[in-house]
Amino acid sequence: MARIAGVDIPRNKKIGIAVTYIFGIGRSNGLDILNKANVNPDIRVRNLTEEEVGRIREIVDLEDIEEVRRLPHLKLTRRCANGKNERR
């Protein structure tokens, strides 16, 4: 298994789908990451070279994945703070 951003990526899936197992990365964002890393999204994870996995890791580390985890909490806090009717 390849390990990217602290997540074990399944070996039998195509990398275009497997990269979505990382929290905060969906289909379109995952394909953008693979395009930046110059990796074909139709390759199976087990067939990736260490160089390709390293390039994907570098680009995922540059993305703000940890910030995406905090966003739902921030949105909820803001929505509740602005609602005057809920305070009554």
Taking the model in full, what pTM does it have? 0.69
CB-based contacts of 54: which residues, under 8 Å, 6+ apart? none
Q: What is the mean pLDDT of the chain?
A: 79
What does the pLDDT read at residue 65?
67
| pLDDT value for 75 | 55
Looking at the DSSP assignment, which residues form a beta bridge with residue 14?
Answer: 44
C-alpha 2/C-alpha 9 separation (Å) is 5
pLDDT over 60 (residue 35):
yes
Average pLDDT over residues 53-75: 73
User: Looking at the predicted structure, is the pLDDT value of residue 77 above 60?
Assistant: no
pLDDT surpassing 80 at residue 14: yes
Q: Tell me the pLDDT band of 41, cut-offs 50, 70 and 90.
A: very high
Residue 25's pLDDT is 85
**CATH topology for the 2-87 domain:** Helicase, Ruva Protein; domain 3 (1.10.8)
